[in-house]
Chain A
Amino acid sequence: MNATEAALALAVLSAAPLLYAALGELLHEKLGMFNAGIEGVMLMGGVIGYMVAVDSANILLGFAVAAIAAAAFNLLVYAFPVLVMRSSQILVSFALWFIGAGLSAQLGLNYVSRPLPESIGNTSIPLLSRLPFLGNIFFRQPWPVYVAVALTLVVAFVLKRTSHGLSMRAIGEDPASAHASGIPVRAWQTFYTGIGGALMGIGGATLTLVVTGTWTSQITAGRGFVAFALVIFAGWRASGLIWGSFLFGLLLVLGPVGQAHGWSIPSSILGMAPYIFTVAVLTFRTWLELRRSGRTLAPAALGLVFVRGQR
């Protein structure tokens, strides 16, 4: 594997946490819920996965507990205030982010310098991994990368091709009509908040258990918000998340790669790339959609609270 291939393979790996988190967010937004607190759920998943993996010496167990804990956290701190108490979704999003950021820092305080007992190895896909160039980049990755892509394809299929997916989209577009046609709106929203939270938590765990292999407080460094932007960038299409996350992954490794190769640009300047790119992409995408159709591709009822009997 040469240096270019190694850098691109690292980009694919760094894209996986973003893909999980963005997929979780997509499940919120397709059902009309605006969750800008991804960062907090990722941090909770990341710290709990790391703690369990270190204490039990079992990475798979770390992933499982991270998913369950993150789902429970998202249900308690996001779904309950938003769906039951009808609090402002933006305020609750901030609360979710801050509570996750503060609690994860506290929980992981004694795990900062404790290494993982084992590192997760790469799994080579038969035949495909022998492809020149592409094989080394895409098909010799740890299994969470493949799972992320597979889950995204499943969600894309369900949303686009099944009647269940049609009903899900109906909730995000027009919850009153969805309700009138017999879909239990709030129950589905609650269910997918749990699933979405679990995915965000797995994203955080992928970051700490696979990408970095360490825990420090605020390790996500804005990835939750990058994932949020990724959903917009992908035009709310699950399949668009895959190559979108790869693009962001590429920018995320620019700093470390530049440092390793002794580029003359300081790594702190290179490190700005994913953040500046997020702002640029968000602006360009919105401008393009507004110019084309006068509105964005967001679900029409995104962020509105559905209360039975009120329109």
Chain B
Amino acid sequence: MTRRVSLRMHDPAATAPLWMRIVTIALGLAVSAIVVGLSSSSPGIYSSMWAATFGSSLGLTQVGQLATPLILAGLAVAIGRRVGLWNVGVDGQLLMGAWAATFVAFHAGGLPGPLLVVLMMFAGLLGGAVWALLPALTRAYLSVNEVITTLMLNFVAALWLSYWTTGPWAANGAQLGSLSTRQVPAGTYLHQFSVGSVTIGLGLVIAVVAVVVAAIALRWLRLGYYATLASGEEATARYAGVSQRGAQLWGFLVSGAIGGFAGVVVELDQVHRYSSALTSNTGYIGLIIAVLAATSLLGLVPVGVLMAVVVAAGNGLRIAGISSDLVLFVTGVLLLFAGAADVAARYRLRVGAPPGAAPVDAVEPPATASPVMEVPPS
């Protein structure tokens, strides 16, 4: 009998452990760096990437700015994943949240700044939740694929933006290359902190606090228990007295609300208008942030910052002939590697088991119990 190396299913629900995720990210980024190197003929692209991220205070400031909506988008996707659903519509929810907030700002612009900020944030949460309502209802009650419905609504939200910025809210002298309204009142701008020569917006602090609050709520409140039931077997949830449909519905609405919140925060913190500049594939990059952070909500912060570094590095390469959409390629490669790592975590390598033999951890019968069993020659 020959000794063989075989793979055996170990835990079908396992996700990759931390070290495997770090290796995954490193491999994915290495592959991406090679492709970027092949795509650009201009020399010194790696030093441009360094300058656009950690190599300058402007780079660090930009990483912080980019991380703000990315962390919130990752949180929105992660909350959806907690109830077993994929929210691919964060981009649309973000734009609709910003639209609702801008509506408030344009119609109640006379209010004092802090009050207006709070009102705009509520409007943003509401706008995002409303935009997630239809996919949430159709998914929970009719099992309509939420990937398609949320994605379709992204295009509707983008066209909605193009309607308002060219129609009712058209601004004279809008920023070049983007569809924008005029600015919201200056009293709503979020505070910018200076740390040395690096500027960090209050928006980033808000994003991190939102993640911490969500992590605490799901860890210590009953909400987390409901979410777990919602993503599992329907019968288990029913036995525990929890309506799976209700939990999915509410989970998805919260996910949408956070998507809308990401829109308001980035508007108040950086863009100050209802504009196509509010998102640049933010919701899609949020998907990989949630996937890489897996079951850890707090992990969204470091992964969000990491993806902000990737986006900032990509932005630094525009003049070197690199498309701003190449960041999607990096996102895709990371997703592919993360998926493979999750599969790898489900299996264990076993050495020495003959093909078709019982697993080693099974109780072995005494050698004398079975007369047909032959002692293998060693």
Residues of chain A touching chain B, judged by Cβ–Cβ distance below 8 Å, are 36, 40, 77, 81, 85-88, 90-92, 94-103, 105-106, 109, 217-218, 221-222, 225-226, 228-229, 232, 266, 268-269, 271-272, 275-276, 278-279, 282-283, 286-287, 290, 296, 310
Contact = CB atoms under 8 A, between A and B. Distances in A.
Contact of A278 (B35, B152, B159, B321): B152
Query: What's the dominant secondary structure at chain B's contact region?
Result: helix
Interface in B327-357: 327-333, 335-336, 338-340, 342-343
Interface string B142-172: 1111011101111110011011001100000
B159 A269 contact: yes
B9 interface: yes
Nearest to B40: A106
B249 interface: no
B163 A266 contact: yes
Nearest to B335: A95
Nearest to A218: B325
Given A98-B328, A102-B328, 12 more contacts: A40-B332, A85-B343, A87-B336, A87-B339, A94-B88, A101-B329, A102-B330, A106-B322, A217-B325, A222-B152, A225-B147, A290-B143
A233 B122 CA distance: 37
B163 A268 contact: yes
Query: What's the dominant secondary structure at chain A's contact region?
Result: helix
A138 B152 CA distance: 28
Contacts of A268: 159-160, 162-163, 166-167
24 contacts: A87-B336, A88-B339, A90-B147, A91-B338, A91-B342, A92-B335, A95-B333, A95-B335, A98-B331, A101-B332, A102-B325, A102-B326, A102-B328, A103-B35, A105-B326, A106-B325, A106-B329, A232-B145, A268-B159, A275-B153, A275-B156, A278-B148, A279-B148, A290-B143
A101 B340 CA distance: 21
B250 interface: no
Contacts of B39: 106
B152 A275 contact: yes
Contact of B143 (A98, A109, A286): A286
B336 A92 contact: yes
Interface in B198-238: none
Contacts, number: 148
Closest 7 CB pairs of A and B: A102-B329, A98-B332, A99-B332, A102-B328, A105-B325, A87-B339, A91-B339
Contacts of A106: 39, 322-323, 325-326, 329
Interface in B114-159: 134, 138, 142-145, 147-149, 151-156, 159
B144 A283 contact: yes
A77 B143 contact: no
B300 interface: no
Given A92-B336, A95-B336, A282-B144, A266 B152 contact: no
